[in-house]
Amino acid sequence: MLLRILKYSGLLLLLWAVGYTAWFALWLPDISVLADKNPETTALIELRREQAAAKGEKFVIRQNWVGFSYIPANLKKAILVSEDGGFYSHRGIDWFEFNESFRKNLEKGEISRGGSTISQQLIKNLYLSPKRSLTRKLIEFFLTLRMEKMISKDRIFHIYLNVIEFGPGIFGVEAASRFYFHKSVRQLSLEECIRLAAVIPRPLRQSPASANGWLLWKSRWILGKFLKYGYIDQSTYQTVLINLKRKT
């Protein structure tokens, strides 16, 4: 009797695994198209549309795709420093940060620390809900590894820079630059690049046009990393620091 129960249980488990795998495979987005085609929209943009519609508000999207080579090196460095310093060395997952996040979340008994890389952030923005859950995190994890195998690092970063949220209805570095600084992204100063990067963790609560409070702290933190890594000299550091303080 016990052997029969185990036999049927094993069969049911096998059928469930096969069915779930088949469903998951059919559901998976075709990430390979991103190699040479820009996404027309993202899951995050559609979510913002729905949220605005639920409130009866008009939702205006500002997004202007720009080539990777036209984005200033200082802006790329500022975003990498702020969001994912090991982007070009890992394969989609920062295992040290992943372990730290897992430990912190385990201690708190909830998912409170994300630890997401730029690749993970892109997957979430393109395909998933921003709500934190174990299921979403596992799917994000799987799709991130899949994308890293199919698409170059520069292309992943290029898409990210064009779809990341910078404020209500503002997506991508070019749209953000035009909206907040009234100029093309290629014309941004070092200070403006840093302030733009600083807003990414809190795009709906902070504006790079004013470096008050938390945003000033974040901007100064990024600027300090520029000095530490040798991107700028002490004179430039002091000049930009003074300009940041003047905006408060």
| Domains assigned to the chain | 41-55+71-246 (1.10.3810.10)
What's the distance, CA 87 to chain centroid?
12
Residue the block writes with tokens 């430990």: 103
Q: What is the pLDDT along the chain (248 residues), one digit of tens a residue?
A: 555 554 555 555 545 444 444 445 556 789 999 999 999 999 999 999 999 999 999 999 999 999 999 999 999 999 999 999 999 999 888 877 666 655 555 555 554 445 699 999 999 999 998 777 777 788 899 999 999 999 999 999 999 999 999 999 999 999 999 999 999 999 999 999 999 999 999 999 999 987 678 899 999 999 999 999 999 999 999 999 998 877 65
Q: Is the CB of residue 176 less than 8 Å from the CB of residue 184?
A: no
Q: Integer distance in angstroms from the first to the last C-alpha of the chain?
A: 76
Residue 241: DSSP 8-state: H
Q: Quick one: pLDDT at residue 212?
A: 74
For the chain, give the longest Cα–Cα distance: 81
For residue 199, what pLDDT is reported?
95
Partners of residue 170 on adjacent β-strands:
62, 167
Q: Considering the entire predicted model, what is its pTM?
A: 0.84
175 exposure class (CB count in 10 Å sphere: 0-12, 13-18, 19+): buried
